[in-house]
Copies of this chain bind each other. A is one copy, B any other.
Amino acid sequence: MSAPAEAAELAAAILEGRPRALPRGLTWIESGGDRAEALVEILYPHTRAAHVVGVTGASGAGKSTLVTALAKEARKRGIRVAILAVDPSSPYTGGAILGDRIRMRELSGDPGVFIRSMATRGALGGLARAAADGVDLLCAAGFPLVIVETVGVGQDEVDIMRLAHSTIVVSVPGMGDDIQALKAGIMEIADIHVVNKADRDGAERTINELRAILAMQMVPEGGWEIPVIPTVATKGEGASKLLDQLDAHFAHLKKTGELETRLRRIAEARVAKLAQELVADAIRHPLQGANDPILADLTRVARRELSPHRCARTVLGRTTASLTDGSH
């Protein structure tokens, strides 16, 4: 079967909710390339309805356990949940990372829950690309709640969090320096703060610190006031309140028109990244091998015969030409 025909068949199976279609599609996505792109192309128009929630925070904050608690709470309310755990630091892929196995045990046997891990290895074209495409598949498969969980606080994680409609940043009591990192890096992407392990010493202080930081930010009239929610994820405490707040945030986004703005911003970031990846690809893997005109240009730059700025424009032109040739 041709690649497009194969993609069309798999896409249909995913839209119908056939059990083995989704894992297979996600494996395609991880491998990247034309097949993955063809799949997303077909499914993309069907990705509109879901609420995409991002969960991030320093490692050790109990994100996996929190996501499990959140999924259980959603199931109590009859909501189907898909979880995509993205770990840029982990070499494992196509299956389960540690936190996942524990989770799978707790949530297993429930066809209303789908869990998948994605890691750097195998995610050709970058993990952020694969995560975005993966979320599309989960949305198209009809899950009304799609949770994307990342480990760590680097640029990759921030890029991945940019896919979400609502972002939860998880802290724990007594993080010390980590809260500094949070302040600098991911504070600004939080729609909801969770202080997990809230039964520990110092929880009150961490909660108050976060609230104090948030109090310094001006919230415009009718804007979203970022809540700080204490949870004890291992016992499920706070999960119900967290899910309520997620619903409230999604409703707020819809009511204020902010959802359109976010969807636009998501589209912008994603398209920019993909276009940049196409350019980087054309430079790294020139289509015509050693005779590629891009390579010849780069040699001229190295020899000081062509300026890098001028070459950048030429490379863009050549990349575009090769794309419209249909040779890529």
Contact = CB atoms under 8 A, between A and B. Distances in A.
Given A275-B315, A324-B317, A267 B309 contact: no
A298 B41 contact: no
Nearest to A300: B267
A171 interface: no
Interface string A36-56: 010011001111100000000
A303 to B, nearest CB: 8
- Residue among A44, A272, A304, A316 having the largest count of chain B Cβ atoms under 10 Å: A316
Contacts of A304: 44-48
Contact of A316 (B263, B267, B278): B278
A305 interface: yes
A90 interface: no
Interface string A265-309: 011101110111111100110000000000001110111110111
Contacts of A48: 304
A313 interface: yes
Interface in A136-154: none
Nearest to A306: B44
- Residue among A264, A303, A310, A320 having the largest count of chain B Cβ atoms under 10 Å: A320
By size class, the interface of chain A is 35 or more
B267 A302 contact: yes
A283 B268 CA distance: 7
A219 interface: no
A260 interface: yes
Given A44-B304, A45-B304, A279 B309 contact: no
A13 B41 CA distance: 55
B268 A312 contact: no
A233 interface: no
Taken together, the copies of this chain in the complex come to 2
A132 interface: yes
A307 B132 CA distance: 12
B274 A280 contact: no
Given A155-B155, A298-B264, A302-B263, A271 B308 contact: yes
A319 interface: yes
Contact of A274 (B46, B260, B264, B308): B308
Interface of A: 37, 40-41, 44-48, 132, 155, 260, 263-264, 266-268, 270-272, 274-280, 283-284, 297-299, 301-305, 307-313, 315-317, 319-320, 323-324
Which 10 pairs, one residue from A and one from B, show the smallest C-beta to C-beta distance?
Answer: A274-B312, A267-B301, A276-B276, A275-B312, A263-B302, A44-B307, A267-B302, A264-B302, A320-B320, A270-B308
Given A264-B298, A264-B299, A316-B316, 18 more contacts: A37-B309, A40-B308, A41-B307, A44-B307, A44-B308, A45-B305, A132-B308, A264-B302, A267-B299, A268-B283, A270-B308, A271-B297, A271-B301, A271-B308, A274-B309, A279-B316, A313-B324, A317-B320
